[in-house]
Amino acid sequence: MNKKFEKFTISQVAVLVRNNKCLVLEFSDRRGYWGLPGGRIDEKENGEAAFRREIKEELNLSDFEIIDLIDFDVWYSSSGKPYSGVAYLIKNDNDQISLSHEHSKMEWVAADDLDNYNFIWPNAKRMLRKGLIKSSHA
């Protein structure tokens, strides 16, 4: 029997929490749409190295701890393209964040305010809530 397996575009994102609020970023090319810092793995790149590179590129943070994998998701775009997203809770309490050109704005958001944001990932709010809960126990 010939099975066909799906081929996904995989992205890794960070949930960064400070003072019981999580960091969200507005996309420069999609105003009104929000996401989490991170991105895709380059060809033949190690997963953790890719994650650290993306956080450095998007937030200018190189000194952070990866606490735990907190969530993942699989979804299809409106055109049918398959995506998979992995979210890690990271810790960096003090360093200043400076955004790359990919994002126009950043905000620190409490769990109760997440519904006021339009995220490009279907389950980003779930990921952020899990990160907020996990960070309160870390």
* Nearest Cα residue to 35 out of 53, 20, 22: 22
Residue-range domain boundaries for the chain: 9-137
Report, at the CATH architecture level, how domain 9-137 is classified.
Answer: Alpha-Beta Complex (3.90)
pLDDT of residue 2: 85
Q: 138 pLDDT exceeds 80? A: no
Task: Give the model confidence (pLDDT) of 76-130 as tens digits.
Answer: 999 999 999 999 999 999 999 999 999 999 999 999 999 999 999 999 999 999 9
